[in-house]
């Protein structure tokens, strides 16, 4: 099982054109936003593995390379739609708790984080380099300072956009009939489950309802009058299809282990001996009994060292000597948590989001103007 289900490509992610783009204006021009609506499958003639189908806000729908033959046609702009969040992190600019989507952490200031919107809106010192965390579990990627880098304006289904019913529409005549326009009044998340994944739209008759723009990989709307959606630094967005590397779990204060964590010491005896001698400690003639065994963190010291009980005996370690025991435990908890949320959200659904299933297979293939295979 993939240890971090949110690190891979998923339907619902919001994307923009990327480094290997060669598909003209299918996105409506650079800065146009789309939604990943289908993932490539092994053996599929139209959508092979490492490709994705994107529904552009402007209405075009076709497939792109997300690692296919080493090419990356797309950049990940936002992953809040698939439920990515950083539970203990606050955006130090807009003050939102449990930051959603990618997290941007200043490498100069102590404990300073921004959300994607604030980062792209040039909040905080532009000369400070940041690191990007794609998910709560991914290893940070260090970026150059934003100062002087090109910034691309985003366009698409954002607040103020004029929209008509789109490809996944299944809400009868709420819009007043096919082709009748409405106005996006807000982009927001769906309960606690997903972020920036639905649009509130007011129709000609004055009624307002919410529609999926990324939620569960569905797109109920098509943009006929784009709205500005802020900006992005294309050099700072991850390539779609290049999953972020995982890291050890790190708490808000930067400590990789917490009280109660199960850990293992996997250091080689020679290194251990050197470390101990360096500390003026006793020499180790025999391999210590904790080597390779699982222990439990019982105390985190101020200097970052840890007291770990192994086989009933306490030892003090530098965190660099330890690895987490069964790191996949984390991912499983996540999945269980999400499953629970999905369940409870289902019971609370009061608007069209998450409605019934439809047969769309026939309409979707073949793609008009499919890019892949050539």
Q: Which residues bind Zn ion (CB under 5 A)?
A: 91, 93-94, 106, 108-109, 115, 118, 128
By C-alpha distance, which of 181, 174, 172 is closest to 226? Answer: 181
Nearer to Zn ion, 86 or 183 (CB): 86
Tokens of 345: 């959200």
How many angstroms separate the CA atoms of 45 and 58, rounded?
A: 26
Q: How many residues does the chain have?
A: 374
Question: Min. distance of Cβ 146 from Zn ion in angstroms?
Answer: 11
Nearer to Zn ion, 52 or 115 (CB): 115
Nearer to Zn ion, 89 or 106 (CB): 106
Question: Min. distance of Cβ 275 from Zn ion in angstroms?
Answer: 34
Question: Min. distance of Cβ 232 from Zn ion in angstroms?
Answer: 14
By C-alpha distance, which of 199, 226, 203 is closest to 215? Answer: 199
Question: Min. distance of Cβ 158 from Zn ion in angstroms?
Answer: 16
Q: Which alpha helices (H) appear in 27-87, and where do they start and end?
A: none
Nearer to Zn ion, 113 or 220 (CB): 113
By C-alpha distance, which of 253, 265, 252 is closest to 324? Answer: 265
Question: Min. distance of Cβ 196 from Zn ion in angstroms?
Answer: 12
Nearer to Zn ion, 106 or 331 (CB): 106
CA torsion, points 328, 334, 337, 341, in degrees to nearest 10? -150
Q: Checking phi first, is residue 72 left (phi over 0); if not, alpha (psi -120 to 50) or beta?
A: beta
The whole-angstrom distance between residue 29's C-alpha and the CA centroid of its chain comes to: 24
How many angstroms separate the CA atoms of 33 and 16, rounded?
A: 5
Question: Min. distance of Cβ 192 from Zn ion in angstroms?
Answer: 18
The whole-angstrom distance between residue 292's C-alpha and the CA centroid of its chain comes to: 34
Which residue(s) pair with 295 in the sheet?
A: 263
How many angstroms separate the CA atoms of 53 and 238, rounded?
A: 18
């Amino acid at each position: 099982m993939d240890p971090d289900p949110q690190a891979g490509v998923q339907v619902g992610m919001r994307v923009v054109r990327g480094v290997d783009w060669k598909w003209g204006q299918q996105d409506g021009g650079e800065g146009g936003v789309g939604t990943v609506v289908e993932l490539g499958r092994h053996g599929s003639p139209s959508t092979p593995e490492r490709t994705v189908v994107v529904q552009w806000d402007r209405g075009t729908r076709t497939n792109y390379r997300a690692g296919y033959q080493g090419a990356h046609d797309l950049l990940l702009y936002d992953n809040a739609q698939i439920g990515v969040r950083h539970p203990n992190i606050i955006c130090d600019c807009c003050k939102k708790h449990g930051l959603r989507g990618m997290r941007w952490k200043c490498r100069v200031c102590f404990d300073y984080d921004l959300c994607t919107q604030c980062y792209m809106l040039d909040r905080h010192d532009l000369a400070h380099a940041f690191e990007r965390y794609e998910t709560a579990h991914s290893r940070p990627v260090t970026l150059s300072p934003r100062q002087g880098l090109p910034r691309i304006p985003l366009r698409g289904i954002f607040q103020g956009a004029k929209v008509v019913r789109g490809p996944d529409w299944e809400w009868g005549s709420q819009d007043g009939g096919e082709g009748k326009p409405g106005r996006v009044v807000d982009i927001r998340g769906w309960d606690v489950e997903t972020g920036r994944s639905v649009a509130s739209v007011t129709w000609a008759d004055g009624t307002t309802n919410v529609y999926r723009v990324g939620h569960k990989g569905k797109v109920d709307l098509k943009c006929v009058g784009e709205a500005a959606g802020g900006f992005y630094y294309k050099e700072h967005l991850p390539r779609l299809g290049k999953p972020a590397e995982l890291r050890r779990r790190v708490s808000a204060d930067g400590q990789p282990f917490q009280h109660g964590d199960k850990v293992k010491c996997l250091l080689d005896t020679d290194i251990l001996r050197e470390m101990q001698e360096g500390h003026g400690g006793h020499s180790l003639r025999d391999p210590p009994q904790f080597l390779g065994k699982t222990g439990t963190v019982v105390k985190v010291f101020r200097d970052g060292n840890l007291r770990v009980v192994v086989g009933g005996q306490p030892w003090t370690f530098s965190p660099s000597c330890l690895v987490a025991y069964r790191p996949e435990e984390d991912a499983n908890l996540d999945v269980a948590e999400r499953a629970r949320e999905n369940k409870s959200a289902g019971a609370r659904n009061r608007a069209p989001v998450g409605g019934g299933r439809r047969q769309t297979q026939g309409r979707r293939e073949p793609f008009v103007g499919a890019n892949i295979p050539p």
